[in-house]
Structure 1
Amino acid sequence: MNFDSIKELIKNSGLTVKHIGDSRDDWDVVLSAVKNYDVDYDLAAVDYHHLYFSSVLEFQQQAMVFFASGKPVAVWPLSISQSEGKSRIGSNGSEVLPPLLLPNLAEKVAKKVVNSAHLILTEIKAAKTAACTLKYNMLSDGCSLWYKSLQDKYKLFDVTHFLYVDLNRDLDLIKGGFRKSFRPLVSKGLRSWNIDIFADSCADVFEEFRLLHIAVAGRETRPKSTWDELHASLISGKGFLITLRDDEGILVGGGYFRINQRQGLYGVGVYKRELFDQPLGHAVQYKAIEYMKSQGLTTYCIGQRPYPHDRNTPTDKEVQIGYFKEGFATHMYPAFIFSEQA
């Protein structure tokens, strides 16, 4: 299903749509009006996932901007992927995210966006015989119009959880809320390593970070173009890199974080395996929180918290990583996964 078909599909709704490739400025107009939104909606994140998934499977970018009366009112990161003969609809290669609406959008227009989005999903599913799962992160603002529409049209398939740090809190209060065993490890990590934060061009250091990631993983897990995009995001103020070095100046670990004007997101971390018993990640997480606060961010999403009995049966390693992240969080919120499957 091409994008012209999508345009034709909703022509009677009173709305129009443009592909992200033709409306990047309009996309940013919507984002700039929204006070707080997930980093996954940033153009840099959409671009990164397009590069990543296009390298490993057949991937069609269908992200779009909705217009009402000629003005952008919502953005929606939508994608269609195909692997082993099976098609899947998603956002950035994962579950479908909600359309992001302008704040205080008239309810009549908001309903048109929601209804049009479901119409688009229905047609793509039919045309591609595509599977579709949808994710809704339940935060403090409760159930939105999109969430209510999912309850009407889909089955609640799973509930997972995501970890957050409330950056509005005083830094000492945040640190005091860390897991008790983590507090001395953070202090030890800050003493043990030479720590630098890069929020501008650092091509040589970033390449060093990339090569360490390859060495620790034992292989190149993502194309060079995705690393280039991460570095470009850093230069444009949409990310930062934290590095740890020993007394000899050798890079022993680091973390890359995506940010927008309000939220931070843990992106990529890598640490020398022989030093896993040392407080490497502890120091990186604390310095990241400290830096995000200094930049005026309000929320840090550390990532998912899997549990052993989750429906998708996470590995022991995934559960352990989630448990580690939980040690820094101030809040955990559920994310509801909807599907047509039983």
Structure 2
Amino acid sequence: MSIYVIYPDDSNFKTLWQSFVERNNVSWRYSPERMEYEKVYCHKTLIQDCSFVIKKDDLPVAICPLFLEEQNEHHFFSSDLGYQTAPFISSCLSEKQRKKIERLCFEEIDKLAKKNGVVKCMRQIDPVIGGYSYNVLTKYGYLDASLQTVIVDLRNEIKSLWSTLRKSFKSLINNGKENFNILIMDSENPDYEIHEAYRKLHHKTSGRITRPLKTFDMQFEDLKNDRAILIGLKEKERFVAFSYFSHYQNSVYYGSSSDDPDYESKIPLEHCIIWAAIEYYKKRGFSFFEVGVQQFRTQFFDHPSQKDLNICFFKRGFGGKIIPFYRGIKYYDTEVMKQDLECNMNRLLRAHQDE
């Protein structure tokens, strides 16, 4: 048995990565298109794509997204200086082989960290397809920084999904349906002008341009190629809200939303949009709908604002199951580790004092 590590400068890299995602049940986080999107999104901090494929004989058996980033003259393995998805090992391997390849992946990360002077590595395990019953990152020297996320199981009957909604949401969804027109745009009816309306409303909601314009065009390409949908809410001929959803293989992710800050409505706008997405993906036979990360209060490595907590409460209203979202941080520099831990401790103490 021959094992090789293949990097992006290898002419076979893209083919092997594509072959792996086609053979394995991966989520949008591992798609080649998402990887390209993140490169553009992280352009201010990204130095090099150090991602790799593990090939056993002639078959790819693992993939690992790995971006080398820089801030304040320090190097990190991260995505936009945040958590990046951990290596994914093929389920086609035996348990013994999986453990061997898993160990090889994390050894390769450590080797690349040393080579590139990395001071900190931030990893997260995909909660939909990760397949771990514990935070395996801690096995390889990572400090546990886990949160939770909400997954709606679309394999359940639509009546069951409706019954698990927060009671107050049902009337809000029905009122939304009665008072607004809901447009679902997918690969069957792509419209660039409508997508541009989403981009402009996104900027208006944020009050600034938050990411490169190219990322919106990449989102539209995903929509045209059946990797995403855009749902818009209209009052008469005016779009007042949008939400963007990514999908890949059998899972869905609630990506981003925007609503017009100048529009006044007694009816909340997002409730009927997300329910429309649940109905849409249920009809199409998708299995899992990831509503998004859950934060309940300040943790050592996580310091949500009240706005963050309100958004999490809103997302929990769509039923589903709260499951672990395993994350971890590994330090390769003790001074950076000391500064980070002190900073997080001080923020945690201030949060408790303010309660």
Q: Distance in 2 between matches of 1:331 and 1:205?
A: 33
Partner of 1:24: 14
Is it true that 1:224 corresponds to 2:201 in the alignment? no
Matched, 1:125 2:113: yes
What's the CA shift for 1:278?
2.3
Distance between the aligned counterparts of 1:191 and 1:25, measured in 2?
48
Asked if 1:103 is matched to 2:91, the reply is yes
Which residue number corresponds to residue 5 of structure 1? none
Name the structure 1 match of 2:282: 293
CA RMSD for the aligned pairs?
Answer: 2.4
Letter in 1 for 2:53: V
Preserved CA contact (<8 Å) 1:18 1:66: no
| Structure-2 residue corresponding to 1:9 | none
Q: Is the 8 A contact 1:50 1:59 kept in 2?
A: no
- Kindly provide the CA deviation profile for residues 268-323 of structure 1, in whole angstroms up to 9, marking residues without a partner as x: 10012244652210011001101111221100111111122223210111111111
Q: 1:159 aligned to 2:146?
A: yes
What is the deviation of 1:162? Answer: 0.6
Which digits, 9 at most, give the CA deviation of each residue in 1:33-81, with x for residues without a partner? 223x332111121111111011x32342222222110211122111111
One-letter amino acid matched to 1:106? S
User: What is the SS of the residue equivalent to 1:241?
Assistant: strand
After superposition, where does 1:1-342 map in structure 2 within 5 Å? 14-19=3-8, 22=11, 23-35=13-25, 37-54=26-43, 56-90=44-78, 94-127=82-115, 128-137=117-126, 143=132, 147-148=135-136, 150-200=137-187, 201-247=190-236, 249-273=237-261, 274-275=263-264, 277-311=266-300, 312-340=302-330
* CA offset digits 1:308-342 (Å, max 9, x no partner): 22232101111111110110131011123223456
Equivalent in the alignment of 2:349: none
- Structure 1 residues 198 and 138: CA distance shift in structure 2, 3 A: closer
**Partner-residue secondary structure (3-state), 1:123:** helix
Relative distance call for 1:256 and 1:139 in structure 2 (3 A) is: closer
Q: Closer, same or farther in 2 for the Cα pair 1:93/1:233, shift >3 Å? A: farther
Does 289-298 or 118-127 show the bigger shift? 118-127
TM-aligned CA deviation for residue 126 of structure 1 = 2.2
> What is the alpha-carbon distance in structure 1 between the residues aligned to residue 218 and residue 10 of structure 2?
17
Conserved? CA contact 1:79–1:93, under 8 Å: no
Q: Cα distance, 1:136 vs. partner? A: 3.0
1:20–1:64 contact (8 Å) kept in structure 2: no
Query: Number of paired residues?
Result: 326
Return the TM-score normalized by structure 1. Answer: 0.88
Q: Distance in 2 between matches of 1:315 and 1:177?
A: 27
Deviations 1:204-238 (A, max 9, x none): 11011111111121111111110010000011110
SS at match of 2:125: strand
Q: Secondary structure at the match of 2:198?
A: helix
The answer on whether the counterparts of 2:27 and 2:129 sit within 8 Å (CA) in structure 1 is: no
Alpha-carbon contact 1:78-1:92 (below 8 Å) kept? no
Amino acid across the alignment from 2:59: K
Aligned letter for 1:143?
A: Y
2:177 partner amino acid: L
Checking the alignment, whether the CA contact within 8 Å between 2:27 and 2:247 is kept in structure 1 is: no
After superposition, what is the alpha-carbon deviation per residue over 1:158-204, rounded to whole angstroms, capped at 9, x for unaligned?
23111111000111211111111111001111111111111123111
Which stretches in structure 2 are left out of the alignment for 5+ residues?
A: 331-336, 342-355
C-alpha separation in 1, matches of 2:294 and 2:171? 23
- Measured in 2, the distance between the counterparts of 1:183 and 1:159 equals 31
SS at match of 1:15: strand
- Contact 1:156/1:338 (<8 A) preserved: yes
Contact 1:20/1:63, CA 8 A, preserved across alignment: no
**What is the TM-score of this pair, normalised by structure 2?**
0.85
Gaps of 5+ in 1: 1-11
Q: In structure 2, how many angstroms separate the alpha carbons of the residues matched to 1:198 and 1:141? A: 30
Identity %: 23
What corresponds to 2:350 in structure 1?
Answer: none
CA contact (8 A) 2:24 2:91 kept: yes
